[in-house]
């Protein structure tokens, strides 16, 4: 359901093709909200049918037409209404890594440690991404577009992602020490 709002949000920044939206998703929200082209294009078609976006086709030699989507005033209204509506619940999340740890009490310490150390490396990599690449993309986008207000919101989300990953890394380090002390 929220994919429609993510697409409207990106189109609220500028007109884009489905491919450009995917590229923007991958550079900005992928760490907390992602979608594949196989989800993006059907959702764009539905938004077009609902009158929330328009599409302009541009023919290309030997390829399908390139369609550039633009948010309509009705689409902007729908997006702004959704943005203004407070969450009334925390959406459920799934974490296969935590599920594995939860049920790993029957494994030997070495197997549990491999699981924890693998997750630790993945979380450290994610933390480095928030600290480096994601921060840089925000800074460059704000500098290129002048979207300082939007950039502040992007930076707030990035800061939370960084804090979350840092806390996860610290927790995994403590978990590894506890498992090492198990009989």
Closest CA to 137 of 33, 20, 27: 27
The one-digit pLDDT tens for each residue of the chain (183 residues) are 689 999 999 999 999 999 999 999 998 888 888 999 999 999 999 999 999 999 999 988 888 889 999 999 999 999 999 999 999 998 888 899 999 999 999 999 999 999 999 999 999 999 999 999 999 999 999 999 999 999 999 999 999 999 999 999 999 999 999 999 999
Sheet arrangement for strand 63-71: 16-17, 63-71, 53-60
Sign (positive/negative) of CA torsion 169, 31, 35, 26?
Answer: negative
- The SS3 call for residue 2 is helix
Helix axes 135-145, 148-180, angle to 10 degrees: 180
The b-or-e profile of 88-100 (16+ CB within 10 A means b, else e) is eeeeeeeeeeeee
Name the pTM for this structure.
0.84
| Strand ranges (E), 72-147 | none
Contact present, 31 and 46 (Cβ < 8 Å)? no
Assign domain 2-84 to its CATH architecture: Orthogonal Bundle (1.10)
Neighbours of 44 (CB within 10 A): 23
Domain ranges of the chain: 2-84, 96-180
Structural contact between residues 72 and 53, judged by C-beta atoms closer than 8 angstroms = yes
Torsion angle in degrees (nearest 10) through CA of 169, 175, 179, 181: 110
Count the alpha carbons within 13 Å of 118 in the hemisphere toward its beta carbon.
11
């Amino acid at each position: 359901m929220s994919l429609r709002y993510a697409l409207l949000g990106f189109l609220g920044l500028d007109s884009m093709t489905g491919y450009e939206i995917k590229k923007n998703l991958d550079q900005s929200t992928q760490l907390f909200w992602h979608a594949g082209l196989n989800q993006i294009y059907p959702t764009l078609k539905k938004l077009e049918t609902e009158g929330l976006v328009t599409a302009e086709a541009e023919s290309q030699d030997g390829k399908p037409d390139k369609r550039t989507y633009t948010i309509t005033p009705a689409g902007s209204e729908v997006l702004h209404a959704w943005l203004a509506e407070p969450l009334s619940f925390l959406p459920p999340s799934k974490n296969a890594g935590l599920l594995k740890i939860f049920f790993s009490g029957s494994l030997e310490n070495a197997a549990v440690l491999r699981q924890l150390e693998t997750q630790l490396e993945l979380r450290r990599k994610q933390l480095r991404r928030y600290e480096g690449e994601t921060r840089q993309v925000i800074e460059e986008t704000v500098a290129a577009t002048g979207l300082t207000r939007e950039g502040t919101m992007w930076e707030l989300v990035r800061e939370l992602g960084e804090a979350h990953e840092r806390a996860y890394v610290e927790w995994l380090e403590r978990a590894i020490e506890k498992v090492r002390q198990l009989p």
